[in-house]
Structure 1
Amino acid sequence: MIRLLAALLFSLLALQAQARCQGADLRDHLDANQSAALTRELAQIPYGEGNHWIARKGARTIHIVGTMHVNDSRLNGVMRRLTPVIRSADAVLLEVTGPEGRRFWETPEENINLFVIRKGPGLTEVMSERGWELLSRAALAMNLDPRRVARIQPWFLSVLLAESFCGPRGFRPQNGLDNRIESVAIRAGVPLGSLETVASAITVLSRRSLADQAKMLEYDLTSSTGNDHTFVTLREAYFDERMGSGMVLEKWQFLANAPGAPRDRQRLWSNYTADILDSRNQAWVPRILGTPGNSLVVAVGAAHLPGRAGVLNLLARAGYTLERAPF
């Protein structure tokens, strides 16, 4: 199994999108009723807009920056505005620093249980007939044996087989805003810290039942065009500083197209967002508050900023006042 994992990681690190992006910004294709529904949902999301906020409490100032993990030329202007803030900080906190991430991916065998299904039923037993057909087809397209792939954790297969054709795939650093902020901090001698480890983030992804994870994998495998729409919508919402709208439309896409009955789709989505966003935000805030220094920069994926359990609202609950800043 370690040999198979090594082969999969090699494939993933070398993988690039092979098809033309078919994605469109879904916000541009809403009818009047959908636009009104989107407006209503956004009104219920705290801090649904803005990629750069300043939280203040007493003598302490925290710059919270929502990042995008992949490259885009529009980030050049963003960095020109953020560089003075980074250079003057007492510390910069990222989801995971570069050295922390590299240590994990260079020794995956030390965390093999995060990647493989060591005991119990495999994916052949828990996936629907349609889901297994999709997975087998995707595995064969990469010259992988579906029977062996059936013992790989679904979260990893989603990254390996079901990413959008509109962006780079895999774990190779892509010169996103996180990487750029880290580079400026290193050059300026500003201390860096991680809010989590790669292993802890993956543990959150894989803690639901294998059956539920398999349903999420089936959704990811269903349509590369749907994945493209989601990627483009989230990317453009990010640069419009309206991440909340992209997140609502991502949810709508899932609820309309995921396998299972409507109630099951809602349950899957609620659990997914609780794991990938809410629980991690709640774990991060004590680390932010416990970091020494009166001037901090916290740079995390933009989807972690909005919402009742978003980083911004959690800081407000901790007594910080928040002000939107230029991005």
Structure 2
Amino acid sequence: MRLLLTALFLLLPAALSAACSGTDLRTTLSDAQKAEIAQRLEGVPFSNGIYWTATRGTRTVHVIGTLHMDDPRFDPITDALTPVINNADHLLVEADAESQAALQKAIAERPEMLFLTGETLIDLMPQQDWIRLAEAARVRGIPPFMAAKFQPWYLSLMLSMSPCTLQSMTANKNGLDMRIMALADAAGVPTGSLEPYETIFSLFNQDPMEEQIELLKLGIIPVTASENASHTLIEQYFDEEVIAALETSRVTTRAHFDMSPAEFDALFDEFMDLINAQRNLSWIDPIEATDGDSIVVAAGALHLGGEQGILNLLAQRGYTLERQSF
């Protein structure tokens, strides 16, 4: 996703300047919300932890959950991971430098990858929904006239993040994934991609236009609520509460939508299945096919845990998993 967001901001006239702030929503949870989160976490495999090793025979896969934005807390973490990267035979990331260049070239040659070619979202949505959507785009530094022309699935990715988070992911090149790639480059460790650059496009474009527009509803929440959700997710990342972060986001965001809890959960789960679960399933074969006894896989932290997370999928392939300090 970071690759896609970077490509988007290359197209915008100016990036939004926003100061990151927010409240940790864990301090505001009701007893009912706490109980629901606890219930949803029951039996979920590998729900905690950011750095794990998966070992089978002489082969070890170091699985590191990343955050695609900078934070000073990454300084000591980067130092601790340096020998792991230096001694690796291969690094796999969501998008290596070659994939990033290929995507930018493809967008320049085929703008329909990102842009609607006929009617715009103004034509395709009820007026009141568009007005709210346009404001959500504007506060993220995306001019409404441009937002109206984006493929709805792509705009939904933009609006799923707060203005500050969106800017940080696109303007700052020092998130943990980028730090790890820089370490590998300095050490001469080959770096490859877990998936082709067009994967996200294929996954989202398989949905009818009506369903893509429905997903856009998940991006129309007040800026303050969005900033609070982002701040909470970041704090839970450093607390290594990966799946809890996802479920905290679910239960605290529902109230901002005029839909039933069941309808909201269906949209939420559909979104996560597209950007997370389906991709995880396609990553295991490339991991297995990569040569070497010491492989590092660095991907967004939400890809690690859960039934269809990378860790559980590796366990199903006969690997022994062990959590490492982070």
TM-score normalised by L of structure 1:
0.87
Cα distance, 1:32 vs structure 2:
3.1
Aligned mates of 1:289, 1:69 — CA distance in 2: 25
Cα distance, 1:52 vs structure 2:
0.4
Match of 2:165 in 1: 167
Contact kept, 8 Å, 2:102 with 2:197, in 1: the verdict is no
Q: Structure 1: any 5+ residue segments left out of the alignment?
A: 1-6
Aligned mates of 2:182, 2:225 — CA distance in 1: 34
CA spacing shift, 1:111–1:44, aligned 2, 3 Å: farther
Aligned mates of 1:32, 1:66 — CA distance in 2: 30
Aligned-partner residue type, residue 121 of structure 2: L
Contact kept, 8 Å, 1:216 with 1:258, in 2: the verdict is no
Written as runs of structure 1 = structure 2, the 5 A alignment for 1:1-327 is 9-10=9-10, 12=12, 14-18=14-18, 20-119=19-118, 121-137=119-135, 144=143, 146=145, 149-158=147-156, 163-169=161-167, 171-327=170-326
SS in 1 for 2:325: coil
Comparing 159-168 with 223-232, greater Cα deviation is found at 159-168
CA spacing shift, 1:27–1:137, aligned 2, 3 Å: closer
CA spacing shift, 1:230–1:138, aligned 2, 3 Å: closer
CA spacing shift, 1:13–1:75, aligned 2, 3 Å: farther
**Alpha-carbon RMSD:** 2.5
1:14-73 per-position Cα deviation (integer Å, ceiling 9, x unaligned) = 41333x445211112223333233222222321110000000111110000000010000
SS in 2 for 1:171: helix
Contact kept, 8 Å, 2:177 with 2:299, in 1: the verdict is yes
CA spacing shift, 1:208–1:24, aligned 2, 3 Å: farther
CA spacing shift, 1:133–1:289, aligned 2, 3 Å: same
CA spacing shift, 1:134–1:32, aligned 2, 3 Å: closer
Cα distance, 1:13 vs structure 2:
7.6
CA spacing shift, 1:205–1:12, aligned 2, 3 Å: farther
CA spacing shift, 1:257–1:205, aligned 2, 3 Å: farther
Contact kept, 8 Å, 2:229 with 2:249, in 1: the verdict is yes
Comparing 251-260 with 45-54, greater Cα deviation is found at 251-260
Q: Structure 2: any 5+ residue segments left out of the alignment?
A: 1-6
Aligned-partner residue type, residue 17 of structure 1: S
CA spacing shift, 1:271–1:140, aligned 2, 3 Å: closer
Cα distance, 1:10 vs structure 2:
4.1
Cα distance, 1:211 vs structure 2:
2.4
CA spacing shift, 1:70–1:13, aligned 2, 3 Å: farther
CA spacing shift, 1:161–1:261, aligned 2, 3 Å: closer
SS in 1 for 2:173: coil
Cα distance, 1:270 vs structure 2:
1.8
Contact kept, 8 Å, 2:136 with 2:159, in 1: the verdict is yes
Aligned-partner residue type, residue 154 of structure 2: F
Aligned-partner residue type, residue 16 of structure 1: L
Count of matched residue positions in the alignment of Structure 1 and Structure 2: 318
CA spacing shift, 1:9–1:34, aligned 2, 3 Å: closer
SS in 1 for 2:269: helix
SS in 2 for 1:53: strand
